[in-house]
Amino acid sequence: MQRVAYRVTLLHSLLELTRTMAAAAAAGGGFAGDVPIIHAENLVSNIRSINYSRTFLSIISGVVAGIWGFTGLMGFVFYFLVMMVASLGLLVKAKFSVHTYFDSWNRIVIEGVLGGLMSFVLFWSFAYDIVHIF
């Protein structure tokens, strides 16, 4: 019986909160000190898109570095330059309002960089071997 009363009280509190928020939104105002709300599904989708794009760019840049014959440190410099350009492109795509789409700047600047490094090295060495060794 107490469990049912708790659920009713909780539902009543949520209903009152919803009514208060709807009234504030209808009045054109908002709560003081509102923080932007980021939905978890949208955040996960945005992070997934960043990871896919960085993985794709890692593969393409690895093939390009291998074909151009980069060896040693020059290949890694090329990879990090490509990732910097990708981060800049993502910032431009987000119109420099990162907090609208992500929870921090780290998501757009360094998310997926080290994960893509393995794909880069794999395709870099593969393309280099095909073009310059065989």
In whole angstroms, give the CA distance from residue 17 to residue 99: 25
The amino acid that residue 75 corresponds to is G
pTM over cut 0.85: no
CA-CA distance, 97 to 108, in Å (whole number)?
11
Average pLDDT over residues 90-105: 84
pLDDT in tens, 44-65: 888 898 899 999 999 999 999 9
Q: Is the pLDDT of residue 129 over 80?
A: yes
pLDDT computed for residue 88 by the predictor:
93
Ranges of each domain in the chain: 1-34, 39-133
Q: Which value, to the nearest 10 degrees, does the dihedral of the CA atoms of residues 28, 40, 55, 122 take?
A: 160
